[in-house]
Structure 1
Amino acid sequence: MEPAADEIAIESPAHFRLYKSGRIERLNRPPVLPAGLDEATGVTSKDVVLDPETGLSVRLYLPKVGQEPSKKLPVLVFFHGGGFMLESAGSATYHTYVNPLAAAAGVLVVSVCYRLAPEHPLPAAYEDSWAALQWAASARDEWIAEHGDVARLFLAGDSAGANIVHDMLLRASGNGGPSIEGAIMLHPWFGGSTLIEGESEVAAAITAGLWVYACPDAVGGVDDPRMNPLAPGAPSLEKLGCARMLVCAGNKDGLYARGRAYYEAVAASAWPGDVAWHESDGEEHVFFLPKPECENAKQLMDRVVAFIAGA
């Protein structure tokens, strides 16, 4: 199709322009920051390519070793958000979030740089994330082998990254995957063809529209179990492969109702783990990324740190 004849399907002026042909223009992209020492937090990061053919890579974050250099750190595998179409592990958006997270929680973070849709439709991001999770759990990297405790493995992600966390938990339980202590769902991105109580029509329409381009082969459209874990026929939530879970949302977020419904469904299921809820009053979707210094963002960080510590 000639570019001039290509029509815009969905546009977010500050983020992207998606065309009906499946072409995407990524607008106002945050810069990719180099790995290395972060002076503000004392965290050191490095990039590791896991698959040269696909380009799958991860960025590892190692907090400053304290007075107990032999003490092993929990390992947290982080999946960035961006609707499966935007951002990266090295983008300023996530590099400036993960550095303080690693320092505050005292965790070795493996931030996954998965392939993006629509150039690489789903399940590419899920497959990349699963490969990265298995790699992290194997402790083949020298940082993880020396400083990480893979017996204390955590998953975390925001928005589409939290959606990936859900997929990883199901895979971990059904594929002889690694044992995962805890999962942190930050403003998870889920949807469905039928509105649920409190759900915004606009948010539901945006989710459905983006999902078509992120996962064009989805069975059931937006009711594909990967986007709608509560759809009829979706894998049982009792199969979630972790011992503890924290679900977080902002009550002004268009995705709030779906996140709350997911939390309630997990709590009501036969899953034997413990699930907790954290709500940020008056906040919108992933507010903690652009406003890390606001009081609600600090409270959310404190809650995540406490969860990892076992509280």
Structure 2
Amino acid sequence: MNSSSINSSKSERNYSEADIAKKFLFFNVLKDGRVHVFTSIFEKSPPSDHPVSTPGVETKDVNISPDISARIFLPTSAVKKSTGNKLPLLFYIHGGGFCMQSAFSVEYSLFVSLVVAEAKVIAVSVEYSLFPKRCIPACYDDCWDALQWVASHCKGLGPEPLINDHADLGRIFVGGDSAGGNISHNILAKAGVVQLLGDVKVEGMILIHPFFCEGEPMWMYMCPTNQGPRDHRLSPSVEDLARIGCDRVLVVVAGMDSKTLYDAGINYVDDLIKSGWKGTVAETMENKGKEHCFHLYDSLDPEAAAI
């Protein structure tokens, strides 16, 4: 199987059980080569001065390359101030099982805008390639390229004025939930080997209910070039953990998540510390009694605010 042999089908189920060749958690593979992703269509929120219902946050959509785009979030107060003080930058990677959701969806626009309003940061939320349009590792490559694009603004001469004017690229935080947490780990493992452009610093990484699951069949199908059940992108290796390119790490686990994902999140911090990682702070936070990525669907929950 390769990316050219995979075709996307409509979101509606327009086939019978007899047409299915393989069944996975988020999609069916049909005998004719089509892939039906169960929830591939989401309501998208257009960029505006007040995305969804969060006042005090401005948004702008940008194209980074033909395959990559992003939504930039900025507190309105930062635009009005003329003090020259710049804000930390949150580089956010959405979840969705590597095949669903969007940086532009209502859920993610609301969540990231709430974080920006509360934390007083500028955020870049990445729209990366999803399966089946492109197979894994396209998602990793796209997010790495997007992070390099952010870094290209380090001297204030990048292509996006909002980043040039308002972002302190000595205080970058990379984070994501579920699949986005997995991708965050992988691009910061790469950042420990391949230098980011210019004089930038990734200060911290936030993994929210990250997706790590040794030998997970769906991920391995989406990545036809996988290296087997212990592929380091799916099951973090000691070598990758040791070179995570930031000083602080926070892993958030959901108390009612699957045992596999819960344990993987807990073990991540322990394994990171044992790996020889050169950072200074690695912590775990538990959302007790909460399900996987609950924060996207109940943004007013106090546990969601704590994230």
TM over 0.5: yes
| 1:239 paired residue number | 243
Tell me how far apart the structure 2 counterparts of residues 51 and 34 of structure 1 sit (CA, whole Å).
20
**Residue 31 of structure 1: aligned partner:** 43
- Listed as ranges, the matches of 1:96-135 within 5 Å are 96-135=110-149
Q: Determine which of 287, 291, 302 is the counterpart of 2:294.
A: 287
Shift, 1:112, TM fit: 0.4
What SS does the aligned partner of 2:284 have? strand
TM-score calculated relative to the size of structure 2: 0.84
How many residues of Structure 1 are paired with residues of Structure 2 in the alignment?
Answer: 277
Q: Could you list the runs of 5+ residues in structure 1 that have no partner in the other structure?
A: 194-207, 301-311
Deviation of the 1:295 alpha carbon: 2.3
Q: Contact 2:58/2:75 (CA < 8 Å) preserved in 1?
A: yes
Q: Per-residue displacement from partner, 1:178-226 (whole Å, max 9, x unpaired)?
A: 5210100000000114xxxxxxxxxxxxxx1211232121011x32100
Partner of residue 65, structure 1:
77
The letter of the residue matching 1:31 is E
- Counterpart for residue 61 of structure 2: 47
Q: Are 2:175 and 1:171 equivalent residues in the alignment? A: no
Identity between Structure 1 and Structure 2 (%): 35
Question: So what's the TM-score if we normalise by structure 1?
Answer: 0.83
Partner of 1:272: 278
Q: Secondary structure at the match of 2:115?
A: helix
Q: How big is each residue's C-alpha offset from its partner over 1:255-294, in whole Å with a ceiling of 9 and x where there is no partner?
A: 1111111121112221121111111111111111111112
User: Is the 2:239–2:275 contact (alpha carbons within 8 Å) kept by the matching residues of 1?
Assistant: no
Q: Which among 3, 17, 25 is matched to residue 27 of structure 2?
A: 17
Q: Distance in 1 between matches of 2:305 and 2:112?
A: 14
Label 1:22 to 1:210 Cα distance change in 2 as closer, same or farther (>3 A).
Answer: farther
Letter in 2 for 1:260: I
Alpha-carbon distance, 1:11 to partner: 5.5
Residues 118, 213 of structure 1: 8 Å contact kept: no
2:11 aligned partner: none
Show the counterpart of 1:216.
224
Report the counterpart of residue 153 of structure 1 in structure 2.
Answer: 172
Decide whether aligned partners of structure 1 residues 22 and 163 sit closer, same or farther in structure 2, where only a CA change above 3 A counts: farther
Cα distance in 2, alignment partners of residues 267 and 252 from structure 1: 25
1:253 equivalent among 250, 257, 265:
257
Aligned residue type for 1:23: V
Q: Aligned partners of 1:171, 1:136: CA distance in 2, in Å?
A: 16
User: 1:113-149 CA deviation, whole Å, 9 max, x = no partner?
Assistant: 0000122011101111011001111121100100110
Partner of 2:268: 262
Per the TM alignment, residue 170 of structure 1 is displaced from its structure 2 partner at its CA by 1.1
Amino acid at match of 1:126: Y
Q: Which amino acid in the other structure matches residue 176 of structure 1?
A: Q
